[in-house]
Amino acid sequence: MLIPAFALGRAQEVVLILKRAMNSGRLPRFKVYVDGMVREICRMYCLNPNYLRSNLAKRIWSDKEVFFNDWIQPVTNQSMRETIIEDSEPCCIISSSGMLNGGPSQWYAEKLAGDQKNFIAITGYQDEEAPGRRLLELLDSPVEDRVIQLGDRQIPVKCRVENYGLSAHADKFQLIGLVHSLSPRQVFLVHGQQETMTNLGKDMQLDYWGKIYLPANGESYDIQLTKRRKQLARMPVPSLRKGYFPEGADMEELWRHILKHEDRRRPYSAEELFAIWYGKQTPVPRQISRMTELILESDYFEPDNRRPFLYYPLSQQEVEQRRKESEGPMEVNRMFALLEEFFPPETGLYKKGARHDEKIALLYFNFPKTAYKTYEQRLREFEAVTGWKTEINQECNLEAAEDLLLSLLPPGTYLSGKLSYYRLKGYFKVSIEGDADYESIKQRFLEVTGLELFINDELQGEPAGPVSAQPGQMEQNKVFMLLDEVFADKPHRLYKKGLKRDGTGSYVELSFISPEIGAQYSDVIKQLEEKTGWTMRINPNPNQNEIIKLARRLMEGNGLRLKRNPGFYQTEKVVRVTPAGEWEQEIFEKLRDEFIRRTGYSLLND
C-alpha cells in the first residue's frame, strides 16, 4: 500500500493512526516505511516537543521515539527504496508528495500502479492538475482505459485506488460554529467554489443576526469602523540576566519576578520564560525541553487549556492552595488529567472512575490481566505522584477482545459464531470458518489478553466425541455434498455445516448468516431430513461479523458514509448505523429493504 501524504501534519497523523492501531491490536503488525520530506518533518516535531500534546512531549523528554519503532522505519536512501519494492513482504509506504506531483511518492506509484495486488490510498485534497486528481478520476473509467501520466511515463493503473477524508480544514458546521461564537456584524466569504460558497452562506445566515456577503471577483466594499479597538500597550517583563540555566528551586524567584512586573495575567512560552531568566541567548531545543520540565514540575505555573505550550503564572492564593493539595492526595480532576497522560489510549484504558472517600482511582483496561503486568511500574509511579491508590477492573472488555480476534484473522476467514467468555474459568471459546494458522492466532491472543483462546471445540476436557452415521442414515460426506448441491442456487449462502451431538443424539447443524434466514428454508430442510435420515437444526447464533460487514459494504458502496462501525443488537435483531453526513433517504430505504432480505435483521439509522 502506498499512502501519498502531505509532509507537514497529515503524514504524521497517518503514522500515529497506524501505530496506535497496531499497538492496540486493531491491526496486525506490518512494516511501515516513511519516505521523502515526511522523514525530515518527523525529526523537526521531535526537536520541538513543547509544541506537541503533552503525552507525545513526555515521550520525547524521556528519550523515547514518537513516530518510529521496530515496525515503522524511515527510508534513508535509494537502495532501500529498491529493496522495499523488490521485497515480497506486505508493507505500507507513507511518502510525500501528497498529490503525486513529485517526490518519492511518484516514484513508488510508478512501481506499484500496474499490479492489481497493490493499493494507493489518497488522503487529502488534490489540485485539478495534480496526478493524484487524475488518478481518482480514473476510478470511473473502464479498466482498459485506466492510464496515468507520471513524470514522462504512461503507467497503466491496475491497482486498487480509494480516497479517504483526512481534511486538515474546518468543515461547514465548524465554520458556522465559529461565526456564531464570534458574532461579528459582517462576514465575507471570499475563497472557494461558487456553488459551495453559496450553500455555505445560506446555511450560515440561518439563525444569525449579522450579514453574510459573497463578493464577486473584483467587487469592493467600504467598511466604516465607528468604534475602533485600542491596542493595549504592554511593557515586557525585564530579564533577570542570570546567565546560567535555572534549577528547580529557581522557579519561585522567576515566578515572583514576573508577578512583580506584570500588571495583568497572561501566558508565556517556555522560550519567553527562559529569556526572562537567562538573558539574551537563543536556547537550543534541549534547553527548552528541560525548561518545560521545570515549569511543569513547579507549583508556580500551569498550562493553558487550549494552548498547552503556553504557561500562566499562578496567583499567590493559587500557589498556596496547590501546596496544600500536594500535602495529601491530588485533587480529583488533576488526578484524572494526569491519569490520561500516564495511560494514553494505546495502553487499552477505556474508562476511569474514582471512589472519592477512599482516594482510589478506578482503572478499566481492555485486558486487565496483561495491563497489570505491563504497567505495574507505571501504576506505582502514578500512585506516588498523585497520592491515590489504583484499582484495576477484573473483567475483560468483550468488544475489544472480539476486535482483536477479528484483526488476527486472515482474509477469507470469519467467525461462524459469537466469541464466548468463560469468566470463572478464564478463557474464550470461538468457532472459526476458513483456513488459518490457529496456533499463531491463539498465541497472539494470549500475549495481548493474558487469556487462552480455544477454537472449534478443541477445549481439553470437553471433547465433542465422534459422530458417525447410524443404520438408515446417509454417510456424512454424502450428506454434506447433498447440502452443497441443494443450497448452491439458493439466494442465501449456507456458511457452514457440521455434525453435532447433545443429550438427544447426533444431528447436522446448518449455519446461515442468521437463524431468521435459516428458518426461511424449513421446508427444504424437512425434505433433506427425510432423504438423509439425519436430524437437521439451524445454528441459533447469527454470524455477527458477516452481518456488520454487509451493512458497511451496502452503505459505503452506495455513497452513504458511516461515522462509525455499525452497532449489532442481537436481542432486538437490529443493526444501527450512524451517518457521517447527510444521506439520501430514498437510497437508504432501498438498502434497508435489501438488508432485511439478506440477513433477517432490520437496519436502523441513528
Whether 82 shows a pLDDT value over 60: the answer reads: yes
Residues 145 and 184 in one domain: no
Q: Return the pLDDT at 59.
A: 78
Hey, CA dihedral for 258, 263, 265, 269, is it positive or negative? negative
Give the pLDDT of residue 105.
93
Out of 538, 556, 583, a domain closes at 538
Contact assessment for residue 451 and residue 426, using Cβ atoms and an 8 Å cutoff: yes
Per-residue model confidence (pLDDT) at position 217 = 87
* DSSP H/E element including 45: helix 37-47
User: Are 131 and 55 part of one and the same domain?
Assistant: yes
**Residue 99 and residue 12 share a domain:** yes
Give the pLDDT of residue 174.
76
- Same domain, yes or no: 61 and 159: yes
State the pLDDT at residue 235. Answer: 63
Do residues 40 and 59 share a domain? yes
Question: pLDDT tens, 371-424?
Answer: 988 999 899 989 988 889 999 988 888 888 988 888 888 877 777 767 888 776
Contact (Cβ atoms closer than 8 angstroms) between residue 541 and residue 571: no
- Weakest mean pLDDT among 114-128, 179-193, 509-523: 179-193
The set of cell numbers assigned to 438 is: 490457529
pLDDT at 283: 79
pLDDT at residue 95, as a whole number: 94
Q: Among 368, 392, 416, where does a domain finish?
A: 392
Residue 520 lies in a domain: yes
Domain final residue pick, 288, 303, 324: 324
Q: What pLDDT shows up at residue 154?
A: 86
User: Could you tell me if residue 300 is inside a domain?
Assistant: yes
Q: Do 524 and 548 reside in the same domain of the chain?
A: no
Q: Is the pLDDT of residue 207 over 80?
A: no
Question: Can you give the CATH number for the domain in which 46 is found?
Answer: 3.40.50.10890
Residue scoring higher pLDDT (194 or 37): 37
Number of domains in the chain: 7
CATH number of the structural domain spanning residue 523: 3.30.300
Residues 135, 37: one domain? Answer: yes
Q: Residue 61 is placed in which grid cell?
A: 523528554
Those residues with Cβ within 8 angstroms of residue 228's Cβ, 6 or more apart along the chain or in another chain: none
The answer to whether residue 227 is domain-embedded is: no
pTM over 0.85: no
> What number is the average pLDDT over the span 311-317?
89
**Is residue 460 very low, low, confident or very high in pLDDT (cuts 50, 70, 90)?**
very low
Within a domain: residue 231? no
Return mean pLDDT, the chain: 85
Residues in the chain: 606
The arithmetic mean of pLDDT across residues 79-85, rounded, is 92
Give the structural domain span for 45: 2-163
Query: Lowest-confidence range among 71-85, 240-254, 444-458?
Result: 444-458
- Residue 525's pLDDT is 94
Report which residue type is found at 141: S
pLDDT band for position 467 (cuts 50, 70, 90)? low
273: domain CATH number? 1.10.10
Greater pLDDT, 78 or 140 = 78
Q: Are residues 31 and 148 in the same domain?
A: yes
548/534 same-domain check: no
pLDDT at 524: 93
Q: Please check the confidence at residue 336 and state whether its pLDDT lies above 70.
A: yes
Are 25 and 141 part of one and the same domain? yes
Predicted local distance difference test score (pLDDT) of residue 227: 67
